[in-house]
Structure 1
């Protein structure tokens, strides 16, 4: 029992320190072509809630006082404006956070404005939808703050039906339990689904043998290096192509198990040599790509160190690798397609690597690209 309590505490701590999901989940949507559909869906949902608030004005259970009608009008107009903004403007993390705050405030105003005791509680169900959104786009701390705020509003909304002159405690308790269950269950079920999606996305980015990124993972992660290169003063961008020499012969002579061990050895040495913020990928059977940025003065020492880092005279089954390096020191210009520029650098690195092979293998060949190349 004690060990289970410790495990629960550990899981809770790990959950609480999970980072904000916005960048990861929006990248997942973008990579799967779902960004536009998601923005359209969210806009429709928000406008739909605005329509519900508008229809509520014509119900005896809806807002009746002048101030309640005024705030209902504010909520209706705001829902239409926010819904359209999802379609017109691209989302950002700050706007997304503001959207959560807006939703919680709008729901609270709607709850307070309803004249029916039961309608107030039913309106609180919308908090569950906000919790689903937070689970996918933000972090557990915001989720906890949202749930705490929602519970406070639910408690206020339940007061008349539980303790007022027209109280109905049995109905009140049952509806409060329904609303709280929806609020908590929706949030945590969404978190579980997101975790499964994250695991699927992460595994689809990785090469199963080496644990390095695969070609798909390289395409997803390289933008961060390109962005860092663009921001850093006096920086160079390196794209390095590595190919194990005579790998087919090694496989034919020693077998595929030995071939796999050599691939693992090369991947481990490459990862150990690279900087912490580098992107390292296995893009083919015995082909690797490394992308990293570094200061211009560090280029020479890094280029001189990669050859020795890839080989060792103590290897039981010796192997060599041909290395081709493309170096770029000029920044991306306005309007330049970074993805296309990176692809061009890959081609240059491949050309340099094949030149190393032509010269006998086990060599490093470097090409410095120019602004016109």
Structure 2
């Protein structure tokens, strides 16, 4: 039992993995809207209780409830943006929302109304279980327990101890079942296995996963698709200077910020990976070899993302048709080398620009066609 609790306490947060999971399925906006609606609901219900005889009584209690409503509204507006929050902001949201719920429940003049309100903690606990560490979940559970016990004691003092005990038990079941059920779902998704394909810093795919995912995409589409496969290599300029001046933590923050920028500026079906220090790969398809709309959007977005680094970008485009017959790992190796050479040209030219290479036929495909012709010759 002690070992299980220790393992639970030490398990890492899943913020970046879940972020990548949602981004890959185009579900980030929906998730933001759902969290915003939940947060706005907390504020609206708290405010509505001002007109209830069971609601807050007195200037102080009413002021606290109004403050909760204002705080929740502001946080809901942040979630309504088309921008995924940082891990730090999400953690701060979890802590402050827990406190807001507690204040709203404790401010009610009727403890029964407050005890009913503590069920709201359960949804927040589910959010924490999906995105954050056990420490955040423990904080929320402690706040929930303290609030519910205090209110249950007040109900018991009104000569209804049985009802108070039953209500307290129901609150405990809800606030334990939801978060631990959510954590079970996360593990049923084989998160420990999937984490081997996820870069732990940014939550993007790593190189091996990028090669595999892009290879699977090519295999599924290349026989029927007349589009072009485009590989984009993004390398941050002056990254070594940043880490040397401001330290590794600043470099990590820059990579995380750029990773989120790439999620937001690429299409939902694009494949994005973090493959090395300050280097990112993007795979997408285009009707022509001109990927400048994507490249310029990425370059401009990175330049405006704190700490406002620039990027040297290498692009390689090749026809999709026929690529399904290529060994995927060898194909990706060759295309990434082309992209690296183009990126190096962009950096030598001063950085903050992109260079494009058009590969009419990868060597691995040409060699395969040669062997196929050789095999077809009569003997």
TM norm structure 1: 0.60
Q: Which of 174, 184, 188 is matched with 1:196 structurally? A: 188
Relative distance call for 1:175 and 1:85 in structure 2 (3 A) is same
Task: Determine if the alignment matches structure 1 residue 158 to structure 2 residue 208.
Answer: no
Task: Determine if the alignment matches structure 1 residue 181 to structure 2 residue 211.
Answer: no
Quote the Cα distance in structure 2 between the aligned partners of 1:10 and 1:291. 43
Aligned residues: 271
Counterpart in the other structure of 1:4: none
Structure with more contact order per residue of length (Cα contacts < 8 Å, sep ≥ 6): 2
Higher Cα Rg, which structure: 1
Quote the Cα distance in structure 1 between the aligned partners of 2:126 and 2:155. 27
Once the two structures are superposed, what CA deviation does each residue of 1:250-286 show, in whole Å capped at 9, x if it has no partner?
Answer: xxxxxxxxxxxxxxxxxxxxxxxxxxxxxxxxx8773
Q: Which of 329, 339, 349 is matched with 1:288 structurally? A: 329
Relative distance call for 1:284 and 1:178 in structure 2 (3 A) is farther
Q: Which of 263, 273, 276 is matched with 1:223 structurally? A: 273
Quote the Cα distance in structure 2 between the aligned partners of 1:67 and 1:333. 58
Is the 1:132–1:187 contact (alpha carbons within 8 Å) kept by the matching residues of 2? Answer: yes
Is the 1:69–1:113 contact (alpha carbons within 8 Å) kept by the matching residues of 2? Answer: yes
Quote the Cα distance in structure 2 between the aligned partners of 1:87 and 1:41. 9
Relative distance call for 1:192 and 1:324 in structure 2 (3 A) is closer
SS in 2 for 1:223: strand
Counterpart in the other structure of 1:124: 118
After TM superposition, give the deviation of residue 137 of structure 1 in Å.
Answer: 1.3
After TM superposition, give the deviation of residue 110 of structure 1 in Å.
Answer: 0.5
SS in 2 for 1:224: strand
Q: Which of 158, 162, 168 is matched with 2:160 structurally? A: 168
SS in 2 for 1:57: helix
Once the two structures are superposed, what CA deviation does each residue of 1:128-172 show, in whole Å capped at 9, x if it has no partner?
Answer: 11100001111222212221232122222222123x3x2311011
After TM superposition, give the deviation of residue 31 of structure 1 in Å.
Answer: 0.7
Is the 1:135–1:190 contact (alpha carbons within 8 Å) kept by the matching residues of 2? Answer: yes
Q: Which of 100, 107, 111 is matched with 1:113 structurally? A: 107
Quote the Cα distance in structure 2 between the aligned partners of 1:85 and 1:236. 32
Relative distance call for 1:334 and 1:109 in structure 2 (3 A) is farther
Quote the Cα distance in structure 2 between the aligned partners of 1:98 and 1:324. 39
Is the 2:102–2:143 contact (alpha carbons within 8 Å) kept by the matching residues of 1? Answer: no
Matches within 5 A, 1:23-34: 23-34=16-27
* Unpaired runs of at least 5, structure 2: 199-207, 218-268, 281-306, 317-323, 372-379
* Unpaired runs of at least 5, structure 1: 1-7, 240-282, 293-321, 361-373
After TM superposition, give the deviation of residue 101 of structure 1 in Å.
Answer: 1.2
After TM superposition, give the deviation of residue 194 of structure 1 in Å.
Answer: 1.9
Quote the Cα distance in structure 2 between the aligned partners of 1:110 and 1:324. 55
Is the 2:326–2:364 contact (alpha carbons within 8 Å) kept by the matching residues of 1? Answer: no
SS in 1 for 2:54: coil
Matches within 5 A, 1:322-337: 325-326=337-338, 327-328=340-341, 329=344, 330-331=346-347
Q: Superposition RMSD on alpha carbons, in Å? A: 4.3
